[in-house]
Structure 1
Amino acid sequence: MPYASNGGTRLYWRCDGKRSLPALVLGNSLGTDFSLWDPVLPRLMRHFRVIRFDMRGHGASDAPRGAYTLAQLAGDLAAIVDAAGLERFHYCGVSLGGMVGMAYAQRDDHRLDRLVLSNTAVQFPEDAWNARIDRVMSGGMQAVADTVLERFFTSAFRARGDVNLERVRETLLSIDPDGYIGCCKAIRDMRIAEGLGAIDVPTLVITASDDQSTPPARGAEIVAAIPGAQLAGLPGAHIPMTELPVQWSDTVLAFLAPEGELSELERYDIGLERRREILGRDYVDARLAARTRFNARFQEMITQLAWGTIWTSSRFDDVTRRIVVLSMTAALGRWEEFELHVGAALRAGVEAQMIEEALFMVSVYAGVPAANTGFAIAGKLLKEHPAGDPHRAS
């Protein structure tokens, strides 16, 4: 495991993604760990080299007994940035992670390019934190788990029994009480509001309409204090990256990785590389070589629209988007396109079982004859790619 160290405290961190991409560091909330970001990680990795870490007192980081401070937690972030070798980076923190981001941004030696503060605040009533500390001291993490989860998520989300809710619950129950209490004291005693005016990087503050812990008004206070800060409001509660991963990611990416207004040529170039990535370079280049005066503009339009706009969106991962295309082309009987995309999917490592499942869905919603033809075409291609045949003897 990679660890950084600050004042003798070991801090767990990990890096995911291409080193050629800009760096994005994520800071978790009180009562969670680096796995909090799992629902949005694949999408963020399309745009960034993502560095996650466990806040002091949480997860695989040390949990020394005693009160922590926001300055200390900001120092932990600085140690992780050094360990990861980051010269510059974006930072996004939720709740306590946002407080740490604000404290770090007030340091003279910060390396921030942009700052995202999600569902956070700069001050709370002291007695509320003292009451929570007393409950954990007397009853452990179980004593506060239900109350915390009620604040983390809306009642509708909790009623659905989403697997991510259970993951967050188990993480919360596994937190070392000493570490949790130490961070509670850091929040209770923080004094970062006075320095907000000194934050000198582009900042986005995200609030959620049903957030009981840090209501929208608390985010508005931060926006008013940080020069040039922007405000974005979402539905949901305190942990929107779990409950609303697409809306939350849309908001963050629009701020950190805006597409801007691309020219037709730029959109074409982006689309052409994406088309080659999905369908295969040889196939695409052969189609380009076969262009005529009659269809050249059509080919350009398809590359710009389908590949330069739709297929470059990171809302779907590539496997999901491939399965959607296979289902639609089978349902509509577009068998040439279906065969093309089955072959491309198999070459890209999509498992045959995923294609099989898509065709089961086609059989229910578009009819057995369509699924039957789809199975025949896919089965033919599977014989040419035996590693992907689920019925081939091992």
Structure 2
Amino acid sequence: MLRPGDAQGMRYLAGGVCQDMARDELSVFTTGDGCTVAYRIDGPPAAPVLVLSNSIGTTMGMWDAQLAALSQSFRVLRYDTRGHGASGAPAGPYSLDRLGYDVVELLDALGLDRVHFCGLSLGGFIGQWLGYRQPSRIDHLILANTAAHLEPRSFWDGRIADVLAAGDLTEIANSFLRNWFPANMLDPLDEAVIPFQAGLLAMNPFGLAGCYAAVRDTDLRATGALITRPTLVVAGEFDTVTTLAHGEFIASAVPGARLVTLPVVHLSNVEQPREFLEATLEFLPG
């Protein structure tokens, strides 16, 4: 298990890029229930903090295409969601409460009172939770390619059983890629997709199953109206997982929320990095 300072020379599969992480680039802290969470901070020390939360099956590396631009204006805090990347992957189901408190405890550990938060897919579930459960910690909120509820429960039970029984994750990885990217990025495999495929194949099955359970057990349809923070919802026109209708529902439920629709499938910041960045920078206060 990683401990502070143990990242020297490790090969880190960043759900985006496999790279050598220097000792001062990757840090970890331990949550109240004993899980280690890996994180990284980039950008000017005095700048407003922007937290980026990854989708299920990826790591903080999914934000690599936006990092250079965002870290010019923001202190960018990325972390690997529990069960992913260099974070711990305890066995058993996870809950959205636990994933949300992982963020709260990380902010507490870093002495951060209030941050902007951007989450995609599972990260967007976490963002919604923070928006209504911890509003004093959130300034502006971006919810990308996400939903308030995904059913049926039996579907998620099947996914959990499949991933825990799989000898390898090849078919599960292929299923993710088909849900994340358009066909023209998969045949042939686009250069941008290759690291995501590798990251999926390296996933800890316990981490994937645990996060499946968190999605299975989450229903935020009645809590959107309780989010009072300025909110941007980004939806994908061709998203078959968290559909455009899911994004429209969130935008209609959250008072004053703004909806931006991009002609993408699921990982909108990867498929259209420039357009995603423009929407983000236009929304966040400079």
**Shorter-chain TM-score: what band?**
0.7 to 0.9
2-structure distance, mates of 1:5, 1:193: 31
C-alpha contact (below 8 Å) 1:208/1:216 kept by paired residues? yes
**Structure 1 letter corresponding to 2:143:** L
State yes or no: 1:134 paired with 2:143: no
Say which of 97, 103, 117 aligns to 1:71.
97
CA RMSD in angstroms comes to 1.3
Q: Deviations over 1:266-306 (max 9, x none)?
A: xxxxxxxxxxxxxxxxxxxxxxxxxxxxxxxxxxxxxxxxx
Higher helix share: 1
**Within 5 A, what are the aligned runs for 1:103-252?**
103-108=129-134, 110-125=136-151, 126-139=153-166, 140-159=168-187, 161-252=189-280
**Structure 2 letter corresponding to 1:44:** L
Task: State the match for 1:338 in structure 2.
Answer: none
Task: State the match for 2:77 in structure 1.
Answer: 51
Stretches of structure 1 that go unaligned for 5 or more consecutive residues are 259-394
Per chain length, whose mean CA-contact separation is higher, i.e. which structure has more relative contact order (CA < 8 Å, sep 6+)?
2
2-structure distance, mates of 1:108, 1:183: 21
1-structure distance, mates of 2:188, 2:255: 40
State yes or no: 1:4 paired with 2:29: yes
State yes or no: 1:24 paired with 2:44: no
Relative to the length of structure 1, the TM-score reads 0.64
1-structure distance, mates of 2:100, 2:67: 23
2-structure distance, mates of 1:110, 1:170: 38
2-structure distance, mates of 1:134, 1:44: 39
In the TM superposition, what is the alpha-carbon distance from 1:164 to its structure 2 partner? 2.1
In the TM superposition, what is the alpha-carbon distance from 1:204 to its structure 2 partner? 0.4
Q: Deviations over 1:110-150 (max 9, x none)?
A: 41100000000011121221221122122142231111101
Higher strand share: 2
37-46 or 48-57: which moved more?
A: 37-46
| Count of matched residue positions in the alignment of Structure 1 and Structure 2 | 258
Relative to the length of structure 2, the TM-score reads 0.87
C-alpha contact (below 8 Å) 1:136/1:143 kept by paired residues? no
In the TM superposition, what is the alpha-carbon distance from 1:250 to its structure 2 partner? 0.6
Structure ID, larger Rg? 1
3-state SS of paired residue (1:46):
helix
Which aligned segments of 4 or more residues in structure 1 are displaced greater than 4 angstroms? Answer: none
1-structure distance, mates of 2:65, 2:247: 24
**Structure 1 letter corresponding to 2:158:** A
In the TM superposition, what is the alpha-carbon distance from 1:108 to its structure 2 partner? 4.2
C-alpha contact (below 8 Å) 1:33/1:54 kept by paired residues? yes
**Structure 2 letter corresponding to 1:224:** S
2-structure distance, mates of 1:109, 1:203: 12
Stretches of structure 2 that go unaligned for 5 or more consecutive residues are 1-25
